[in-house]
Amino acid sequence: MPEFDSKKVAQIHQHLHSHLPSDSALRVKALETLLVDKRLVDPRTIDAWVEAYSEEIGPKRGARVIARAWSDPDYKRRLMDNAPAAIDELGYLGTATAHLKVVENTDKIHNLVVCTLCSCYPFSILGIAPAWYKAAAYRSRVVRDPRGVLAEFGVSIEDETEVRVWDSTAELRYLVLPRRPPGTGHMNEEELAGLVTRNSMIGTDRELAGDAGSKI
Amino acid sequence: MDGIHDLGGKQGYGPIEVDEAEVPFHHDWEAREWGISRSARVPGINIDWWRHCRELIMPEDYLSRPYFDSWAQTDFATYINVGIISMQEVVSGKALPGQFNINQPPPVLTPQQAIQEDHDNATRFDSEIDTSPVFSIGQQVITSRHGHDCHTRLPQYVRGRCGTVHDYNGAHIFPDLSSLGEETYQHLYTIVFEGSELWPGSEGRNDKIYLDLWESYLVVK
């Protein structure tokens, strides 16, 4: 059991600073070697998790949820009321989504998600977060200058549009429901899912194209 | 703690790498660390203590090392802290005789089993508590002016500021004490702040910042 002693852990980090190998790959390799030697981890289980998050669990799940919300008003209502239950209709409940909330973009509102304190992200529905989401530049600036950050992503926002930034400080996680692109009334759910970008579900993309090929 | 991790509103970190390739992992070692983090953890650990251990990384390492690298360092620290890994083993790079070891082989998962386990990992952090929430939706509140030396989820950029209760989310485990091993619950609110309440020069911009904050971070305005 941990002793929950901050000073002791701070000291350990100072020792690790001196004693760990010199680059990221070697440091992770050292950790894997020790945990495998000690029979805490089997490398095949690591492989399995990597494959799960490379193939099945990723932003294509989120895109399916968005496409269903666009196509089925009753589903959208359930998603806005109780997102964990609604995503689990598709079997997508999982790591970090038991307290998921969906925030909806409109012509007058744009939503943007961040975690300024660590890098909280709704894993089971969006997969592994992009590196920029976890980096200091995004985490520091998006709460202070969201319009500037959006411009950097090539998204221009009218002055009248309200920008809502959601800083994930608790165990709630946020998924942005982007606006359905015009001219897509004829599309089925699968085709609609192909229009949804990962960034649009984080909020760093806004105007989705109605005729694009698969983005994810 | 007022550590390097508390980045909201800090300046000088440069442009965002917006053109990054959309792949889950950019390097094999990132994928390995993700798999390690899913496969094993220190017995009795909780997410708040683990986050705090990550916050305790030396500032120069915190800022200069990639994200999953800092997860590896945090894992190292938590295993060393309970004696599962020793510093001698870190130095030698292999498990040494006489040190912590397990006789049973660890579980072997298939990708399909990992997907199922991910589904089963949908942990809830809320609980019923006896007290009623002090604040109601629409009410104005002021946040605490100060943090403290340990883990907290009240970022510096919203301390001592005026906000409005946007939503009530039930009672959630309180991270400041959970990170010390104490399981207590407090009412959790979503508080909305006007951008102009937080940032100089943002008057007239239609920006709103939402944070999920526990009851003891707040006082009545």
Give me the pLDDT at residue B153, please: 98
* Per annotation, catalytic residue among A22, A71, A120, A168: A120
User: B221 pLDDT band (50/70/90 cuts)?
Assistant: confident
User: B30 pLDDT band (50/70/90 cuts)?
Assistant: very high
* Residue A83: CB atoms within 10 Å: 26
Task: Answer whether B77 sits within 8 Å of A13, measured CB to CB.
Answer: yes
Task: Answer whether B107 sits within 8 Å of A25, measured CB to CB.
Answer: no
In a domain, A143, yes or no: yes
* Residue B57: CB atoms within 10 Å: 25
Query: A203 in the Ramachandran plot: left (φ > 0), alpha (ψ -120 to 50) or beta?
Result: left
User: A212 pLDDT band (50/70/90 cuts)?
Assistant: low
* Residue A177: CB atoms within 10 Å: 23
| A168 tagged catalytic | no
- Tens of pLDDT, residue by residue over A65-104, are 999 999 999 999 999 999 999 999 999 999 999 999 999 9
Q: Indicate which of A11, A15, A31 best probes the interface with B, i.e. most B CBs within 10 Å of its own CB.
A: A31
Give me the pLDDT at residue B101, please: 72
Same domain membership, residue A91 and residue A15: no
Same domain membership, residue A71 and residue A126: yes
| A140 tagged catalytic | no
Give me the pLDDT at residue B100, please: 76
A54 in Cβ contact with B22 (< 8 Å):
no
A194 in Cβ contact with A208 (< 8 Å):
no
Sequential DSSP letters for A118-181: S----HHHH-SPPHHHHSHHHHHHTTT-HHHHHHHTT----TTSEEEEEE--SS-EEEEEPPPP
Closest residue in A to B19 (Cα) is: A153
Give me the pLDDT at residue A189, please: 97
Pairwise CA distance, residues A197 & A204, whole Å? 10
| A118 tagged catalytic | yes
Give me the pLDDT at residue B152, please: 98
Instruction: Choose the closest CB to B104 out of A39, A93, A94.
Output: A39
- Tens of pLDDT, residue by residue over B82-129, are 999 999 999 999 999 877 777 788 999 999 999 999 999 999 999 999
Which residues 170-199 of A have a C-beta within 8 angstroms of B?
Answer: 170-172, 198
Give me the pLDDT at residue B198, please: 98
Measured CA distances, A16 to A21, B72, B73, B117 (Å): 9, 11, 8, 32
Same domain membership, residue A65 and residue A24: no
B142 in Cβ contact with B162 (< 8 Å):
yes
Matching residue, tokens 């994200």? B67
Give me the pLDDT at residue A1, please: 77
In a domain, A179, yes or no: yes
B211 pLDDT more than 80: yes
Which residues 45-64 of A have a C-beta within 8 angstroms of B?
Answer: 45-58
Instruction: Choose the closest CB to A152 out of B9, B18, B206.
Output: B18
A148 in Cβ contact with A156 (< 8 Å):
no
In a domain, A211, yes or no: no
Same domain membership, residue A132 and residue A37: no
User: A213 pLDDT band (50/70/90 cuts)?
Assistant: low
Asked if A2 has any chain B CB less than 8 Å from its own CB, the reply is yes
Same domain membership, residue A62 and residue A27: no
DSSP letter (8 states) at residue A108: S
ipTM: 0.97
Same domain membership, residue A73 and residue A135: yes
A215 pLDDT more than 70: no
Give me the pLDDT at residue B78, please: 97
Give me the pLDDT at residue A3, please: 87
Tell me, what CATH number does A113's domain have? 3.90.330.10
Give me the pLDDT at residue B98, please: 76
B57 in Cβ contact with B186 (< 8 Å):
no
Q: At what angle do helices B111-120 and B28-39 cross, to 10 degrees?
A: 60
| A115 tagged catalytic | yes
In a domain, A47, yes or no: no
* Percent of chain B whose predicted confidence (pLDDT) is above 90: 92
Same domain membership, residue A157 and residue A117: yes
- Tens of pLDDT, residue by residue over A98-123, are 999 999 999 999 999 999 999 999 99
* Both structure tokens of A9: 């852990």
Burial of A16 (0-12, 13-18, 19+ CB in 10 A): buried
- Tens of pLDDT, residue by residue over B123-161, are 999 999 999 999 999 999 999 999 999 999 999 999 999
Same domain membership, residue A82 and residue A113: yes
In a domain, A132, yes or no: yes
Pairwise CA distance, residues A45 & A96, whole Å? 20
Total number of domains constituting chain A: 2
User: A167 pLDDT band (50/70/90 cuts)?
Assistant: very high
B57 in Cβ contact with B74 (< 8 Å):
yes
Give me the pLDDT at residue B181, please: 95
In a domain, A25, yes or no: yes
In a domain, A209, yes or no: no
* Per annotation, catalytic residue among A18, A22, A24, A115: A115
Residues of chain A with Cβ-Cβ distance to B195 below 8 Å are 146
Domains of chain B: 28-120 (1.10.472.20), 132-220 (2.30.30.50)
Same domain membership, residue A181 and residue A92: yes
Asked if B88 has any chain A CB less than 8 Å from its own CB, the reply is no
Q: Provide the domain limits for residue A132.
A: 58-202
β-partners of residue A19 are none
* Both structure tokens of B126: 């809320």
Instruction: Choose the closest CB to A136 out of B40, B63, B107.
Output: B63
- Tens of pLDDT, residue by residue over B1-26, are 999 999 999 999 999 999 999 999 99
Instruction: Choose the closest CB to B7 out of A54, A98, A136.
Output: A136
Mean pLDDT, to the nearest integer, of B56-68? Answer: 96
Same domain membership, residue A176 and residue A89: yes
Task: Answer whether A2 sits within 8 Å of B82, measured CB to CB.
Answer: yes
Choose the weakest-confidence range: A151-160, A207-216, B48-57, B189-198.
Answer: A207-216
- Tens of pLDDT, residue by residue over A27-69, are 999 999 999 999 999 999 999 999 999 999 999 999 999 999 9
In a domain, A213, yes or no: no
* Both structure tokens of B94: 């292999």
